[in-house]
Amino acid sequence: MKKKLNGKTATALICAFALSVASAAMALDLGDILKKGAIGIAGGWLVTAISPQMNDFINTITFNKGVAYDGYTKVVPIVSIGDGARIGAAQVGATTQSAIDRTKAVAQLEGEFSSVRATALIPIDSTNPIQRFRRVKGVGVTAIINVKL
């Protein structure tokens, strides 16, 4: 029988894991790229492992505030493409189960134009946007969870 984690426990686990991975990577004195890659892979694994509990937590919060999503939802890792290493998760929502099933991650693209900073969150069908980067149509981001490292 699987034990469910509440939202506070899941958040605490993400924070503790992020700090321990970051500390271990710094202690090994790896190159910056290797550290970010290891943190990203470990963070993606952790998000995937506790995604059902995080999805239930977000759905409970939004239901209690009267803004529940009317459709299918799940939590997937955020794959950041840009400045800084982050471990994050996004809840995605769609009106069809097949669209949700095809969504494996959310690509986070960041850019600046003049003094305006923009972040785009795009549901994609792969956890590796370098290998493959295809948007899943009909899916939107309904919530985000980030821990800055």
Question: What pLDDT, in 10s, does the model give residues 11-60?
Answer: 555 555 544 444 444 444 445 544 445 455 555 667 778 889 989 999 99
Phi, psi dihedrals of residue 131, rounded to the nearest 5°: -75, -45
Q: What is the pLDDT of residue 7?
A: 57
State the pLDDT at residue 30.
46
63-89 pLDDT, tens digit per residue, is 888 888 889 999 999 887 665 556 689
Q: Compute the average pLDDT of residues 88-92.
A: 92
Confidence of residue 123 (pLDDT cuts 50, 70, 90): very high
List CB contacts of 81: < 8 A, sequence separation 6 or more: 107, 108, 109, 110, 129
